[in-house]
């Protein structure tokens, strides 16, 4: 028994309406975008108008439609459902300017050969083609178009184009544009369910996306695979469709098949829950807690072992560049040799940071002590050298001898008491105090002892004088008196006698 055409159409309409009412328009008020906006500053043509739920005025300027620029060879509009949804069907209300004649005479020719995609990204080539027009004409294209598309996705993309060099059928306009007044996407608001009212859980426990009508699993939850999502990801993989590779886990068996988290930590050189992040520059090893050595380029410290791939910076050696140059060497590759006048040089630049050996000075210990100084840090003062330039800068020895009054290798020792002059070879005169003989000149600083005169006190008193400062006069009865004590050592003149010739002979006889 066949139903009349009118009754059959009514039956199909009732079925479609029933299905439409069973699913939710998940596109309502979602973010939308179009490639070439008709007017950026006029929201009457904005992409969001096609998901605002309004369709009472289907005219281009009515503020309820998304309209793109004229004269373009591509037209793209998409909406973001903000997460992956189970989709059943998509309905598009095209712009008609509220007139079927206007729609077919002006609008339809821009729409012919349009496509509808569902994708998880804004790249339609990576999504599912739900519909491609290859049959409509300006007389048959519906102003309200519906296509079934039982897939899962986040982005619904409308696209049309006129390719250069392609001959299109009669009725096709040479340019395309968006003339979309409402795009409704019907499906389940949450994943993991199916059925006419989206109330039946997907049969397979680990199924994330199942067919909206049959419940057949179309995508497993992250970490699972198989026809019924009964298998965990193979060793070393995880996540959606097991397409992600585990990071550098310490134990690959401990990579969580769902999240990829390394449950027992990372192998050396990596960090983070997924162990996919290299150690920060300057660190390496287990948990990235080790500090790189003195690499020439810190970015060339191998994050696993700490080896300096480009070699060491100046002053260091070894694979890890943590070993300073051996004593006596410095610089790049420790090939520089420290000055032998250094007490110890800097392993990086060769500067004599520990000071110089005695007799040398300067950052590189390449300068002898200035004239008149010697020894460690040139802090010692040369003695009384005959020639100050002949003071040895290391030992302080006076190479050409001492100046008058001094003795010893350093010429810092005064002449012994009673001597003076060059090499202390001269004997002091008859000084009143022998310790007051000037060690340089021999001058008697406190004067002469009795019987002598002049600076050196080596000259006896003049004939006829004696005593301190030669100020006393010998007795005139002396033939000649002692210059010290005035005694008449040379005898008396005739007629006198005694030590001082102060007794006459006649007196003595009585």
pLDDT of res. 344: 85
pTM of the complete model beyond 0.85: no
> pLDDT value at position 15?
39
> According to the model, what pLDDT value does residue 10 have?
41
| Distance from C-alpha of 166 to C-alpha of 164, rounded to nearest angstrom | 6
What is the rounded CA–CA span in Å between residue 221 and residue 201? 13
| Pair 474, 491: CB distance under 8 Å | no
Contact call for residues 297 and 310 (beta carbons, < 8 A): yes
Predicted confidence at residue 506, as pLDDT, reads: 67
Measured distance CA(400)–CA(389) in Å, rounded: 10
* DSSP secondary structure letter of residue 105: I
Q: Which residues pair with 209 in a beta bridge?
A: 219
CA angle 177, 183, 187 (to 5 degrees): 145
Nearest alpha carbon to residue 330 among 316, 320, 310, 343: 316
Query: Please, which residues have CB within 8 angstroms of residue 4's CB and are 6 or more apart in sequence?
Result: none
Residues forming a β-bridge with 503: 497
CA 348 vs CA 30, 282, 299, 324, 353: distances in Å:
64, 20, 20, 9, 11
- The residue to which tokens 């009384």 are assigned: 384
Q: Is 103 helix (H, G, I), strand (E, B) or coil?
A: helix
Rounded Cα gap, residues 142 and 285, in angstroms: 66
Q: What is the pLDDT of residue 298?
A: 85
Q: What gap in Å lies between CA 466 and CA 454, rounded to an integer?
A: 14
Summarised one tens digit per residue, pLDDT across range 35-50 is: 999 988 899 999 999 9
Contacts of 289 (CB under 8 A, 6+ apart): 283
DSSP letter (8 states) at residue 506: H
Question: pLDDT tens digits, residue range 139-150?
Answer: 999 999 999 999
Q: Which residues of the chain carry a pLDDT beneath 70?
A: 1-21, 506-510
- Cα 388 to Cα 391: distance, rounded to the nearest angstrom: 6
DSSP 104: I
The b-or-e profile of 340-379 (16+ CB within 10 A means b, else e) is ebbbebbbbebbbeeebebbbbeebbeebbeeebbbbebe
Tokens of 435: 């310790």
What is the CATH topology of the domain spanning 5-189?
Jelly Rolls (2.60.120)
Q: How far apart are CA 489 and CA 482, in angstroms?
A: 6
What pLDDT score does 211 carry? 92
Alpha carbons 220 and 207: distance in angstroms, whole number: 4
pLDDT of residue 196: 86
- Give 262's strand partners: 255
Token representation of residue 29 = 């008020």
Domain range list for the chain: 5-189, 202-274, 462-510
Q: What is the pLDDT of residue 252?
A: 84
């Amino acid at each position: 028994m066949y139903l009349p055409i009118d009754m059959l159409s009514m039956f199909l309409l009732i079925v479609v309406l029933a299905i439409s009412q069973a699913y939710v328009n998940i596109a309502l008020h979602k973010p939308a975008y179009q490639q070439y906006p008709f007017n950026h500053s006029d929201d009457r043509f904005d992409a969001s108008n096609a998901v605002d739920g309004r369709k009472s005025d289907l005219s281009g300027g009515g503020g309820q439609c998304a309209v793109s620029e004229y004269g373009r060879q591509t037209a793209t509009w998409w909406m973001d459902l903000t997460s992956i949804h189970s989709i059943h069907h998509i309905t598009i209300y095209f712009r008609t300017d509220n007139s079927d004649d206007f729609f077919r005479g002006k609008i339809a020719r821009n729409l012919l050969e349009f496509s509808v995609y569902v994708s998880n990204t804004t790249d339609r080539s990576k999504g599912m083609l739900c519909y491609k027009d290859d049959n409509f004409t300006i007389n048959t294209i519906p102003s309200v178009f519906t296509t079934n598309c039982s897939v899962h996705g986040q982005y619904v993309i409308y696209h049309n184009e006129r390719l250069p060099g392609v001959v299109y059928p009669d009725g096709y306009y040479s340019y395309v544009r968006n003339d979309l007044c409402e795009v409704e996407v019907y499906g389940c608001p949450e994943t993991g369910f199916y059925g006419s009212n989206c109330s039946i859980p997907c049969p397979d426990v680990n199924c994330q996306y199942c067919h909206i009508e049959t419940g057949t699993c179309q995508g497993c939850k992250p970490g699972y695979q198989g026809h019924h999502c009964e298998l965990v990801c193979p060793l070393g993989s995880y996540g959606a469709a097991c397409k992600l590779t585990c990071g550098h886990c310490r134990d690959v068996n401990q990579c969580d098949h769902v999240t990829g988290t390394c449950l027992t930590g990372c192998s050396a050189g990596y960090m983070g829950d997924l162990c996919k992040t290299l150690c920060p520059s300057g660190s390496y090893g287990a948990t990235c807690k080790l500090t790189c050595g003195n690499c020439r380029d810190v970015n060339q410290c191998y994050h696993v072992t700490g080896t300096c791939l480009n070699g060491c910076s100046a002053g260091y050696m070894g694979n890890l560049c943590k070993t300073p140059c051996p004593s006596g060497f410095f610089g790049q590759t420790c090939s520089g040799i420290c000055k032998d006048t250094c007490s110890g040089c800097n392993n990086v630049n060769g500067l004599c940071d520990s000071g110089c050996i005695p007799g040398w000075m300067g950052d590189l210990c390449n300068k002898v002590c200035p004239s008149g100084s010697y020894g460690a840090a040139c802090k010692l003062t040369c003695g009384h050298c005959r020639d100050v330039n002949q003071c040895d800068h290391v030992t302080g020895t006076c190479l050409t001898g001492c100046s008058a009054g001094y003795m010893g290798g350093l010429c810092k020792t005064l002449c012994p008491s009673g001597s003076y002059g060059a090499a202390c070879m001269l004997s002091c005169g008859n000084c009143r105090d022998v310790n007051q003989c000037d060690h340089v000149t021999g001058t008697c600083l406190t004067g002469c002892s009795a019987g002598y005169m002049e600076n050196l006190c080596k000259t006896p008193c003049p004939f006829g004088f004696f005593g301190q400062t030669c100020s006393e006069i010998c007795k005139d009865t002396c033939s000649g008196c002692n210059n010290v004590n005035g005694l008449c050592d040379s005898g008396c003149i005739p007629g006198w006698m005694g030590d001082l010739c102060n007794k006459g002979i006649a007196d003595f006889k009585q």
